[in-house]
Structure 1
């Protein structure tokens, strides 16, 4: 597990996303996560939505199911999967600005709350499926992240995680010059390897049913974001002010280099809880 010298907590993560709200929406878009390219001809919007849809497919979502979007950002993935799969989604974010944006773009069946996942207050066995797209990295206590997901999911529940991962046995220079600075600048309390994640998942009671490394299919996200940020800084005085005070611009070349050297990986985990003694929920019930 890569741990930066400067510790990060939930308050730092919330401040990061609140303070960078206008830049994040302008540079990353409403989904605030990587795109997933298959042919290479997709637009960035199509690639970003493709990642969300890939999560929905792995979860085998069916209409009426209760779902949880852990670290939902602006709620865009929740809205997309609610619309395409007919599910109900409770989204949790640490950012008040992100929740405010989600409230201004409501859709039926999606509720977004400002709440820390590690103290989420959701009932036991109240969700059929859950996902965490690039939010597990921000969790201070990663074993508790998995334990809470296992608690909230029904027996037989499904859980998909899209995660930034450290290369297994990364060389010291990669850790020192790429991974630790990325953790620090990205407000990541730690960055685990594939093996770390799978061990924590199993310890929490999950079965790992699938893993896919899609690093090559997502890496171009960072060259696109770098170009957008440079443009924003050049033409927008407010963006320039916020970027100067809150962003280490070195994170962009570091991310590009981390992918190209293999120091960082991007993995999609599909997990499930045991299906024995399943007790069906009453229709219409779910997380609140």
Structure 2
């Protein structure tokens, strides 16, 4: 587990997203997560929506199911899946700015809450499916992140986690110049390896139904963001003032680090599919309804 030299809290994470709200939407987009390319010809918007669709496919979402978007950002994925998969979504974000944006773009069956997932207030066994797209990295207590997901999901429930992962046994140089600064600059209290995540998920009671490394299919996200950032700095005076301020200048270093981290293998991007045991035995297979299994 990579831990930055600066201790980070949920308050620091919220402050980061509130402060960088304008530049994040301009450079990264409303989904605030990687795109997933299959052919390489997809537009950035198509690619980010493809990642959300991949999550829905891994979960096997069924119409009418109660879902949780853990770290929902601006609510774009929640809105997309509420419309395309006809599910009900409760989203959690630490950022008031993100919640305000979501409130200005309402969608029936989507409820966005400003609340820490580690203290979510949901009842036991109350959701059918949950996903965390690039949000578990921000969790101060990652084992509790998994434990809360397991508690809230009903028997047979499914969880998909899309996550930035540190290279196992990364060299000292990669840790010092790439991984630790990425954690510090991106307000990640820690960055785990694939083995770390599997250990925490199993300890919480989940079975690992699948894992896929999609690093090569998502990495171009950061070259796109770099081009957008350069354009914003050249043509937008307000964006230039904002990005070059003493408080936010370090943000300019993070994108090149991320590009290099992918290219050197210091960081990878994984998608975990996890299941909670059903009432009568092992977890059901994602993509099948409980009724199909019982038939």
Q: Give TM class, smaller chain.
A: over 0.9
Q: Secondary structure at the match of 2:57?
A: helix
| Residues 4, 181 of structure 1: 8 Å contact kept | yes
* Equivalent runs, 1:122-271 vs 2, <5 Å: 122-245=122-245, 246-248=248-250, 249-271=252-274
| Residues 185, 247 of structure 1: 8 Å contact kept | no
Q: Secondary structure at the match of 1:250?
A: helix
Taking only aligned residues, the RMSD between alpha carbons, in angstroms, comes to: 0.9
Structure 2: how far apart are the matches of 1:159 and 1:241?
40
Structure 1 position 247, deviation (Å): 3.9
Structure 1 position 235, deviation (Å): 1.5
- Runs of 4+ with deviation above 2 angstroms: none
Structure 1 position 277, deviation (Å): 4.7
Structure 2: how far apart are the matches of 1:214 and 1:179?
19
Greater mean deviation of Cα atoms: 230-239 or 116-125: 230-239
Structure 1 position 75, deviation (Å): 0.2
Q: TM-score, normalised to structure 1's length? A: 0.95
| Residues 36, 218 of structure 1: 8 Å contact kept | yes
Structure 2: how far apart are the matches of 1:88 and 1:43?
28
Structure 1 position 113, deviation (Å): 0.6
Structure 1 position 242, deviation (Å): 1.8
| Residues 35, 48 of structure 1: 8 Å contact kept | yes
Structure 1 position 276, deviation (Å): 2.3
Structure 2: how far apart are the matches of 1:10 and 1:247?
21
| 2:287 paired with 1:274 | no
Partner of 2:20: 20
Structure 2: how far apart are the matches of 1:22 and 1:78?
20
Structure 2: how far apart are the matches of 1:238 and 1:6?
29
Q: Secondary structure at the match of 2:200?
A: helix
Partner of 2:284: none
Change (3 A) 1:170 1:61: same
| 1:12-45 CA-partner distances (Å, limit 9, x unpaired) | 1101100111111111111000000000011111
Structure 1: how far apart are the matches of 2:66 and 2:249?
37
Structure 2: how far apart are the matches of 1:241 and 1:194?
39
Structure 1 position 137, deviation (Å): 0.3
Q: Secondary structure at the match of 2:158?
A: strand
Structure 1 position 94, deviation (Å): 0.3
Structure 2: how far apart are the matches of 1:162 and 1:220?
16
| 1:199-227 CA-partner distances (Å, limit 9, x unpaired) | 00000000010000000000000000011
Structure 1 position 88, deviation (Å): 0.0
* Equivalent runs, 1:36-51 vs 2, <5 Å: 36-51=36-51
**Unmatched runs of 5 consecutive residues or more in structure 1:** 279-288
Change (3 A) 1:3 1:101: same
Partner of 1:286: none
Structure 2: how far apart are the matches of 1:252 and 1:60?
33
